[in-house]
Amino acid sequence: MELSYDVALDELREVVGAEAVVDERDALLPYAVSLDPAGDVFPAAVVRPAHTQEVQRVVELANRHRLALHPISRGMQHGLGMATAVEPGSITLDLSRMDSILEYDEELGYVVLEPGVTFTQLHQFLEERGGRYWCSPTSGPVDASVIGNALDKGAGYTPVGNHFGNLIGLEVVIGDGRVLVTGDGALVGAKTLYTHKGGCGPMLDALLAQSNYGIVTKAGVWLMPAPPGARGFLFSFPEYDDLGRAVDVSNRLKLTGAIPSTVSIANDAFCVAVETTTPRPVGTPGDPPIADHELPELREAHGVGAWNVVGCVYGPPADLEVRVERLEEAFAATGPVRYTREEEAQGRKAFGYRFDIAKGVPNETELDVYNLHADGASLYFLPSVPFRGRDALEAMRLSRQICTAHGFAYTNQFLCSPRSMRNTQPIIFDSGSAGAAGRVMACFGEMVDRFADAGYLVSRPPTHFQDHVMGKLGLHAELASGVKRVFDPNGVLDPGRYGLRTETA
Q: What is the tens place of the pLDDT at every residue in 41-58?
A: 999 999 999 999 999 999
Q: Residues 334, 411: one domain?
A: yes
Q: Residues 67, 108: one domain?
A: no
CA atoms lying within 13 Å on the CB side of residue 22:
18
Is 392 part of any domain?
yes
Q: Quick check: 344 and 43 in contact, CB under 8 A? A: no
Q: Residues 130, 265: one domain?
A: no
Domain carrying residue 165: 101-225
Residue from 167, 108, 202, 137 nearest 359 by CA: 137
Q: Residues 13, 39: one domain?
A: yes
Is 13 part of any domain?
yes
DSSP E strand stretches across 400-441: 413-416, 420-430
CA atoms lying within 13 Å on the CB side of residue 39:
5
Q: Residues 199, 135: one domain?
A: yes
Q: Residues 106, 235: one domain?
A: no
Is 505 part of any domain?
no
Q: Residues 193, 85: one domain?
A: no
Supply the CATH number for residue 75's domain.
3.30.43.10
pLDDT digits (tens, 9 = 90+) for 419-468: 999 999 999 998 888 888 899 999 999 999 999 999 999 999 999 999 99
Between strands 179-181 and 167-174, the pairing is antiparallel
Q: Which of 174, 203, 225 is the C-terminal boundary of a domain?
A: 225
Supply the CATH number for residue 301's domain.
3.40.462.10
Paired strand residues for 45: 91
pLDDT value of residue 454: 97
Q: Residues 407, 262: one domain?
A: yes
Q: Residues 192, 208: one domain?
A: yes
N-term to C-term CA, the chain: 23
Predicted TM-score (pTM) of this structure: 0.93
Supply the CATH number for residue 181's domain.
3.30.465.10
Instruction: Collect all residues with Cβ–Cβ distance below 8 Å to 266 and sequence separation of at least 6.
Output: 307, 308, 310, 350, 412, 413, 414
pLDDT value of residue 1: 37
Q: How many domains does the chain have?
A: 3
pLDDT value of residue 210: 95
Per-10-residue mean pLDDT for the chain, 505 residues long?
70 94 92 85 95 97 94 88 88 97 98 98 98 96 96 94 95 97 95 94 94 97 97 97 97 96 96 86 71 90 96 97 97 97 94 96 94 89 97 97 94 95 93 86 96 96 93 95 95 94 73
